[in-house]
Amino acid sequence: MSTAQLLRAWADDLYLHGSALARWITDYIDLEESLAVGSMAQEDVAHAARLLELCDVDPQTRDGLIYTRPAEEWTPSLLTSWAPLTWPETVARAFMVGTAFACLVDELVAGGQGPVGKTARVMAAEQRLHVRHWSRWVGILASNPATLAAFEDALGEATQRAGDMFGELASPIIPDGEADLPKLDVEPLHQRWRERVDEGLASVEAPCASLPERPRPRRAGGDLASLRRTVERLRSVRNGHPDFLYEIHS
């Protein structure tokens, strides 16, 4: 799997994750948390766009990937194609996604000073705040007897799904590109992520997570049934109002 294919798969992950987070902007009664998830949702979607830009995907093509590509052709992780319903599930997922993406962008930063390294450096700094925020929530849920059991269940579900975040595609359907990207090795990335997850959970005295020792392969569509529902919901405004004029932003 090339770096371009990995980054395009990760663009699917971040877009789905950011969109799922956005749901909590109005579901929550805590204004501060609404502001936080709103900001992080915006940034995750923006980082998805930046990953596609690094792969030389223009804004029009990007729009098609989101709004017309069949769900079977998406390549998200089982983790991000899952639609968590509860706050503990959202926290568990966000912690996993955030720590994994931090490992990915750190590796891109190490790739050099060129455009890829510069963009990755900015994304890494912005994502660090996300990881801090979710780590704090992991600590809160894990230290409260009223929420511990629910959080343990959520962490177990997230961990079971997360094993393919650095997985190769079983049958690559993502076009490879000509973009000038550093070579990334997914096995060491997965190991670094496992270590970071263990350290992060231990630092807030949270239960352990049992990520697999090696990355599992991704499959097209991820959790396809869940992804179909998610994609349909995300497209509902545009599909419901095809007569509207939509601007494609860069």
Partner 1 sequence: MSSDRHGQDPLRTALDEALGRVEDPEVPITLRDLGVLRDVEVDGGQVTVRMVPTRLGCPALDEMARRVRETVRQVDASLDTRVEWSMESWTPQAITGNGLASLREAGYGQLRRRIRCPYCESEDVRQEGLFGGALCKTPFTCRGCGSTFDALRSALAAQGHDR
Selected binder of partner 1 within 65, 129, 204, 224 (CB under 8 A): 129
* 10 versus 82: smaller Cβ distance to partner 1: 10
Only one of the segments 114-122, 147-155, 171-179, 183-191 lies at the binding site for partner 1 (rule: CB under 8 A); that segment is 114-122
- 40 interacts with partner 1 by CB under 8 A: yes
Which CB sits closer to partner 1, 51 or 227? Answer: 51
- In the complex, least distance from residue 93 CB atom to partner 1, rounded to whole angstroms: 18
- Between 42 and 210, whose beta carbon lies closer to partner 1? 42
Q: Quick one: which segment of 129-137, 139-147, 169-177, 227-235 binds partner 1 (CB under 8 A)?
A: 129-137
45 binds partner 1 (CB under 8 A): yes
Token pair of 117, please? 């390294």
- Binding status of residue 159 toward partner 1 by CB under 8 A: no
What does the binding site for partner 1 look like in residue numbers (CB under 8 A)?
Answer: 32, 35-36, 38-40, 42-47, 50, 115, 118-119, 121-123, 125-126, 128-129, 132-133, 247, 249-250
